[in-house]
Structure formats: structure tokens, C-alpha cells
Structure 1
Amino acid sequence: MSDANSGDISAVTAREALAGRLPIRGADRLYTGFGSLLAACVAIGAASFNYLFGASIAYIGNTSIGILGYLIGLIVGLAPVYLASGLICYRHGVDPVDAAKSSMGTRGSSLLLALILITTLGWSFVLIAMTGQAAGRLQQVLFNPGGEINNGFVAVVSAAMLVLIWVLLRKGPLMIALLTRYTSPAILIIACVLVYLITRDVSLTTLLHTNVDPKLAYASDPLLQLAYGVEFGAANALTSVPFFGGIARLIQKRKHVITPSLLGAGVIGAVFTSAVGALAAIATGSTEPAEWVVKTAGNGFGTVIVSLLLLANLGTLISFFYFAGVSVQQVRFFAKMRWDFIVAILLLPGLVVAFNTQWLIAHVMNWLAYNSAMFVGIAAVMLVDYLLLRRQVVLPAHLFVKDQHSAYWFWGGVNWVAMATIALGGVVYLLLFDPLTLQVGPTFRYVGATMPTLAICMLAYYLAMRVVIASGVRGGYRNVQQLSEKKVRVGL
């Protein structure tokens, strides 16, 4: 075979791996430098719905305490998420669902698959609905002041976004790196412009010390206000399990596994844009981005800003649909399908979203508020299993074996200890904090909900699995060398 043909085959294999479940070799990975990875992470962290989160931060009752707490919670929460899903995905170039098979079982990882699809598609459709609603609000402010939003116009904009996403993503994830190189700086420039506009008449210091009406605040106690801020940040961090695991397999250098993601998705992306949203809510009394942008910038300049903000969402959206497209290939029906067809099927429910944007934002965001309860136990299980129990030794070939020959078969393909721990995490979290009603337990003001729940789940899983490991050979913890030498039938 000629060198040219070999090169073509290697290139095709690399593209298939990037758009599929095949483990990605280091040389074929997408992010080779700090800058491109930082831009991709900013796109993930700085989505427009962060401006809505910012309004929630403002309503904590103390603007400066809320922003500070959010920053602390996000940083503290991101670290265990990165360790849980990032390291194993980076080391072996595998999707988060395949990575989770070593801890949850070859069939038990289907739970993570379901949650990844719910989260990525849920937030994606919320963002598309917000884009349509923002465009509709803009059209109403400019051409029909005092009237109602034209739902037909909203539907057209939302449908157009779906088509544009498919066109951009159909050729594979290389478009993510290319597009986010431009959208991420645009997002940050827009946020900086918004800060300037918000603080033209009232100084930044004054805004930071201005609070909402105490009657509307979630809390009046400074310690409880800080706890709310920290919890909002930590809860946001836990939703990064599918996103960071999905992007970690595309990183070429180990030194880039944590820092660009922490800065991009965390501090620069989520915290900065959420802080802008909080300040805007205080300054304008409005929580809807399209509305307060026009209020502060005027109709003309405001139209330009909102339009650019809507287009900048494309980097975030194609990233989310990429992660969903890779994970859904765990299902055999999708695994045999061409990438552009997979993307089209995932986008198809968006046509319903286009005609029901208000309903979707109201109801789906309520469901997504429980992301922390869903992912806290999974993060604990994956972190303890990989770092403490397996000491970072996993058999990659066995992650793709679907029967009892897999080292990670556990009990009928499910690690029931992991399942029990995940359920425990959900129960404990909701006892400490209900993210929808904001009801809290008596200890919440001192420790929040995410971190104590994570600690309880980590301890419970470690102790229970030590008993399992000591009493048998399930899970491939004790006979790693023999299993690595044993021939297995790989079923992709």
C-alpha cells in the first residue's frame, strides 16, 4: 500500500474517531494548543442562559456576596468533576459513557447515557428557544412597541438556527474548533460592552452594593446568602460531567486537561457572564437579556448586540449537539448511521421546540434545575472508582465488551453498588436543598448541599466497594494483569 493511501486511510480513521465512539489517539486529537481549547471551553461556559442565571444570583439578596459565592462554588465544584470524568476520558480517548462502564457496569452506564442526552439536548433546546424568544422580543421592541411577541417570527428564527447547526456540524467536530475560535472572543467582547453600558450612569462599585428589594430576596442572612451563591456555582459545575468528559478525549496534552477548562468554562465563561447578568438585573430591573440590552444600549446599538449574541450561541450549540451525537452512538441503531443523519435526528425535536419556546423554557428549565441531584452521585462514583479503587488502571478493550467476558460486567452488566450510591446522592441532595423551590435543610447555611452530598457518596461507595473487592473478583479490580492478557470479543 502506498504512503499516500496509508495517509488517506489514517485521515479517514481520525475523522471517524472524532465523530464517533472509537478511542481517539493522541496524534489525532483536536485540541493541540492552549488557545483553541480555551476558546472551546469559553463557548461551553458562556452560553446566553448564564445571563438568566445571573438574575438568580442577584435575587439571592446581596449582589456582591452572591457573585463571590457563585465563583467559589463553581471552582470548588469543577475540580471533582474534572477528576471524575476528565482524567479517564483523556487518558484513553473514550466517550464519558464508555469511561463510566468501569465503575457503573457495561449496562449500568446506560443511566449516564440517558442523563447526558437529557442534559445536552435539554440545555441545547432551551438555548434555541431563548434565541428565538430574544429575536422575537427584539422584533417586538423595534416594530411593535407595546404589542405582543410574534410567535411565528420566533418559530422561523428557531427553525433557522436548527438548520444552521446541522449545516455547520454535519462535517464533524472540526467545525467546533473553527467556530469557537471566533464566537468565544465575540461572547467576551459583548459581555465587556454590556458591562460598560450598564455602568455608564451607575458605577460598578455602586451596583455591587445595590441589592434587590428585601421582600423579593431569597435570604436576608449573609451566611445563607453566601451558601446560596456557592450552591448555585457548585450545581452548575456538576452539569459539566458530560461536557468535560466529552471534550477531554479531544485534548492532546495532559497539562491542558484542567487549566483551560477551569478558566474557560468556569471563571471566564460562566462566572463573568453570570455576573454581568446579575448586574444588569440590578441596574435595569429586568431579567430578560434581549429586553435589558435594548434598555441600556438603545434600539439601534441594542439590535446589533442582541443579533451578535444570538449568533455567538452557535459555538455553544454545536458543542452540545456534538457531545450528544457521540454518546447516542452507544445505541446500535445510531452506531450504524452516518454522522450527518445522527445530527439531523437529534435536531428533529427542535421543530416542536420552535413552536413552543415559552413552554419549553418554563418547564424544561425546571427539570434541568435538578442536574445536581442527578450527577452528584455519578461524579462521586467515577472519581472514587478510577482514582482510589483502580489507581488509574483501566483496561480500554474491556470498555467495549458487552457481555460477561468484560471485566466490568459486575452483576448482569450493572454495578448495583454504584446505582445505590447514585440514588443515595439524589436523596441526600434533595433533603439538603430543593433547587426548584429553594427550600433548604437546617445545615445548608453552613455546608450547602453539593459538597456534603459528594463527600457522603464518596465515602459510602468506597467502603461498600472495598467489601465487594475483598469478597470476590467482580469488576476487574484484583486480576487486572490476567484480564489484560486475556483475549476478549469486542462488540462496538
Structure 2
Amino acid sequence: MTATEPTTGAGSSSASDNGWPLPRSSRTWGGGSVFTASIATAVATWCFIIGGYVSYYLQAGPGTVAMIAGSLIGILFIALACVPITAKYGCDTVTSTVPQLGVRGKYLAVALIYLATIGWNIYLIVLLGRSVVAIAGAVDISMPSWTVGLIGVIAIGLVVVILRKGADSVKDFTRLIAAVVILLAIAVIVLIVKDTGWSNLMSLPATAPYDDEKANWASGLEVLISVNLSWWAYTAAIARNGARARTSLWPVVFALGLGVGLGSLAGFYGGLVVPDSAGDPTLFVVDLGGTAFGIVALGFVVVSSFGTTTVGMYSAALALRQLPGVKNLSWRMSTVVAAIPALILVGFFPNPVFDNFSVFLAFLAIAFAPMCGIQIVDWFLLRKQSYDVAAIYDATPRSTYWFTGGINPVAFGSFALGVVTYLYLLDPVSYVFRSPFEYMTASIPTVIVSAVAYWIGSRVFYVRSGRFGYVAGPR
């Protein structure tokens, strides 16, 4: 792709579905559309499982505070790293990383976004399948275990069909379910409080806490920070369609940030009331609310899962279209290619995938915390909030952002240091931690270490000499 391709002969739908920068005249989403797409993405089935993990560590009172605080911390990093670039230039997340990673280094972002979005999609679809099986069980219809995979495969096929119109499908479909997902979370919370009693709910113990209370607080924060960092993979698919940067910023902050924190309270309280459920609604809503309510609630779970999976599959396909072998395919074929790994894992390995959710949460922070640190420093401190858009889309050695062989060694080194920092502080498999995790979590130091390393490396190797688009500073 040459530097001039994005602005020559590309209609708005082509730009929207290929990652080219959207001109302001083509950004048709108002604040309401950005908000509904964001809230439908945030408040989905995953909120129950997210909240269920917090119930391992904290009681209802401190857990509620930790979840809201963790959501705001996580979305702060996204608001600084991702939203300003994608909203200003109308580009997707992958191309927003070119000034930091290089024109070839951006393929790291392709891999991270694809793995994150497909990972979330798989968990959502597995829960969708479990919800259908639970609905059948509520009316005394027994289904074999493989039914979960079969239902998941059918659901993924429906998502691919829904996405046939690209970005317009995301906007239209999420508008329909935004109200539904909010009502679901509120109804489940009201049910739990009514059935258990507020005072009893507040006194319920955490289900598997550490001996160190500080570590429990840090773990509750870490879960929600990690989850909100995953919006790095989703935000551009929504924010770039906003008419102005401000149109996207606040809806994203309130809907994606607070939305997931507040929405996860249902799973959190459910995990405390029914400890063996770990927040999984298929294991407690029928018992708490009765057959009729359980069927309706699980039906809402099915619908909300479709909304978030639609946005996730759109983001995954958009990322894959940055690859040379995929960008020339039709949009519909790209969505099919993006869905293939999910079809395989959901169809044949739903239970192993579902049982490793905690490892997936850690991956989100390991992947996106370093990227946030790097992008924040590059945009606000080193580049002074200005990029050369033509150079971003120029994949030749002539590009300002070519660096070394198309890759920025400083960025990759800083990313690696961030990964090492996280792994030192928290083992993503065993969840064994090292100090100072209990005081700082693992994600926050990872963002800081990557940011500082990138700032120092860029100043030493690039800024002072004015290379690769940096303005030369004093020696």
C-alpha cells in the first residue's frame, strides 16, 4: 500500500472495513451511537465471569469499590493511549501503532488484537451455549455436553452473517441490544439483593482469598484493570466512527470503563451468594429467581453475547485485513477467515478454554499494558500529539516510521521489559505474586516500566538526532 492509497478512490465503507483513515465527512456516529455500541460491548456475559473472579478475593463492600476503581484506572490508560489517536485521525488500532512499532512492527498489534478479540469471543460464545443448555435444563430437557460446542458454532455463523455490512452492522445491531444488556445486569443485581438481603450480602466472605488483605485488594483491582486494558483492541473500532474526538471520548470512558465495572457487580454478588458458581449465571439465576426468571435472564445472556461478539469479530477481521494475504479478500470472506479459530476451539474444546479464563485475563494485561505505556509517551511527550498520516500508510523504506527494517527496536525492547515486569509480579497461571504487587498491582508497574523505557530509549537514539519524525531536541 502506498502513502496515497487511503485517500484515493476509497469510499467510506472501504475505509471503515480496511483500516484506512476515515475522513470526518464519513464519521456518521454521534455520541448516542458511540455510547450504545460501547455499552453493548462492555455489559455482556463476560461481566458475570469477571465479577466472579473478584469474589475470590474480596467481600461485597470493598469488592464493589475495587471493581469501580480498577475499571477507571484501566480505562484511563485506554483514554490516553488509544482514543486520542484513533479519534483524531479516524484510523484503526493497528495503524495507530505504526509511529511506535514501525510499518512492519505493527504486525505485533495485529497479533495482539486478534488473539484478544477472538479470545473474548470464544468465552462469550461458550457461555452462550451453556446458557441455552441451562434454559433447556430449566424446562427438564436434557442436552448432551457436546451441545454447547454445536450451539457455539451456530452462533458464530450467525455473527458472520450479521457482519456482512461491516461497520454499519455493528452500529445497527448494538443499538437494538443496548437497553437489553443494561436491564439484564440490573435485574440480576436486584434479584440477588432481594433474595439475600443487603446486610447479609455485605457480610458474605470472599470465596478463596489470600492471607494478605493488601494482596486481595490488589487482585480485585488487577482483574478490572486487566479487563479494561483489553479495550485497547476494541476501542478504535468504535471511536474512529465518532464525528469528533470528544464525541468518542466520554461515551467510551463511561460506557466501556464504568460499564464493565458496574455490569460485573452482578457476577460478583452472584459469586459471593453461590460460591461454586464463580459468577457463572448458568449456575445460579434459575435457583435464585425461579424457572421463569431464569429462562428470561439466560435469554438476555444469549442476546448480549451476540452484541459483544459482533463488535469483537468486527475488530478481529479489521486487524487481519492489515495482513498482505487477507487485505485483498472481500469483507465477507475476511470475517469468515477471522472466525475459523473460534469455530474450531468452540466446536471441539469449549470446556478447556472456559477453565483457563484467569490465564486469559493475565494475557490481556501482559499484552496491552506495555502498549499503553508506549503509546501514551509517544503521543503526549515525544510526538507532541501529531503524526504524519501519509507515512503511517506508507509500507516502504521511504516512510518516516520505517526505523530499522520496518521495526522500532526501542519499542519492542520496552514492550519486552513490560512483559518481564508483569511476569515477575504475577504468575498468570498459578496467580502467585511477588512484592510489590500487593501495593501496586501488576498492570500499573508494567505500564510505567514500558513508558519510562520507551521515553529513555527514544530520547537517546531518535529524538536528539531528529530521526523518524521526532523533533530534534537539545543534546
TM-score (norm 2): 0.92
- Please tell me whether residue 446 in structure 1 is matched to residue 439 in structure 2: yes
In structure 1, give the amino acid aligned to 2:401: Y
Judged with a 3 Å threshold, the aligned counterparts in structure 2 of structure 1 residues 244 and 50 are, in CA distance, closer, same or farther, namely same
Equivalence for 2:62: 65
Residues 201/178 of structure 1: CA separation in 2 closer, same or farther (3 Å cut) = same
Residue 51 of structure 1 is matched in structure 2 by 48
Change (3 A) 1:224 1:364: closer
- Does 2:152 match 1:154? no
| Pairing of 1:388-467 with structure 2 (within 5 A) | 388-467=381-460
Given that 1:469 and 1:477 are in contact with CA atoms closer than 8 Å, whether structure 2 keeps it comes out as: yes
Alignment counterpart, residue 192 of structure 1, candidates 156, 179, 186 = 186
Counterpart of 1:274 in structure 2: which amino acid? S
What count of residue pairs does the alignment treat as equivalent?
A: 464
CA drift at 1:61: 3.5
In structure 2, do the counterparts of structure 1 residues 365 and 174 end up closer, same or farther at CA, with 3 Å as the change threshold? farther
Shift of 1:355: 3.4
Identity %: 26
The one of 264, 282, 289 equivalent to 2:281 is 289
What amino acid is the match of 1:326? L
Q: Give 1:404 shift.
A: 1.1
Partner of 1:207: 201
User: How far 1:167 sits from its partner (Å)?
Assistant: 1.6
Indicate the SS of the match to 1:151: coil
Tell me if the contact between 2:201 and 2:273 (Cα under 8 Å) persists in the aligned partners.
yes
Work out the CA distance in 2 between the residues paired with 1:30 and 1:292: 41
Q: Who is 1:19 aligned against?
A: 17
Deviation at 1:270, TM superposition (A): 0.9
AA aligned to 1:378 is M
Letter in structure 1 aligned against 2:437: F
Higher Rg of the two aligned structures: 1
Alpha carbons 1:138, 1:291 under 8 Å: kept:
no
Gap regions ≥5 residues in structure 2? 1-7
What are the residue-to-residue correspondences of 1:324-335 with 2, within 5 Å?
324-335=316-327
Question: 2:316 is aligned with what amino acid?
Answer: A
- Please tell me whether the aligned partners of residues 122 and 368 of structure 1 are also in contact (alpha carbons under 8 angstroms): no
Letter in structure 2 aligned against 1:264: A
Q: CA deviation at 1:220?
A: 4.1
1:485 corresponds in structure 2 to none
Q: Is the 1:126–1:365 Cα contact (8 Å) retained in structure 2?
A: no
- Structure 1: 5+ residue stretches without partners: 1-9, 480-492
CA–CA distance in structure 1, aligned partners of residues 156 and 235 of structure 2: 24
Partner-residue secondary structure (3-state), 1:194: helix
Does 2:375 align with 1:374?
Answer: no
Secondary structure of 1:158's counterpart equals helix
Which residue of structure 1 lines up, in the alignment, with residue 3 of structure 2? none
Q: How does 1:168-179 map to 2 (within 5 A)?
A: 168-179=162-173
User: CA offsets, 1:3-31, max 9 Å, x none?
Assistant: xxxxxxx9981111122222101121142
The Cα shift of 1:461 comes to: 1.2
Alignment check: 8 A CA contact 1:82 1:241 kept:
no
Q: Which is further off, 312-321 or 284-293?
A: 284-293
Distance, in Å, in 2 between the alignment partners of 1:185 and 1:137 is 23
What's 1:256 paired with?
247
1:280 correspondence with 2:270: yes
User: C-alpha separation between the residues in 1 aligned to 2:358 and 2:431?
Assistant: 14
Distance 1:11 1:129 in 2: 41
Give 1:80's aligned residue. Answer: 77
- 2:21 touches 2:89 (CA, 8 Å); kept in 1? yes
From 180, 184, 187, give the equivalent of 2:174.
180
Amino acid at match of 1:458: A
1:52-99 deviation per Cα after TM superposition (whole angstroms, max 9, x unaligned): 111111110423212211211220121122211211111111111111
The match for 2:214 is: 223
Secondary structure of 2:84's match?
A: helix
Provide the C-alpha distance between the structure 1 equivalents of 2:449 and 2:333, rounded to a whole number of angstroms.
42
Deviations 1:167-206 (A, max 9, x none): 2111111121111112121011111111221122322343
Superposed CA offset, 1:247-306 (max 9, x none): 221111222232111111121x21122111111122233232112111112122211221
**Structure 1 residue 474, shift from structure 2 partner:** 2.9
3-state SS in 2 of match to 1:327? helix
Conserved? CA contact 2:239–2:252, under 8 Å = no
Pick closer, same or farther for the CA change 1:39–1:327 going to 2, 3 Å: same
Alpha carbons 1:29, 1:252 under 8 Å: kept: yes
User: Deviation digits for residues 215-267 of structure 1, max 9, x if unmatched?
Assistant: x4222443332222222221112111111133221111222232111111121
AA at the equivalent of 2:27: R
Q: Distance in 1 between matches of 2:160 and 2:28?
A: 20
TM-score (norm: length of structure 1)? 0.89
Matched, 1:91 2:88: yes
Amino acid in the other structure paired with 1:301: F
* Structure-2 change in CA distance of 1:163 and 1:84 (3 Å): same
d(CA) in 1 for partners of 2:459, 2:343: 49
SS at match of 1:301: helix
Kept in 2, the 8 Å contact 1:380–1:454? The answer is yes
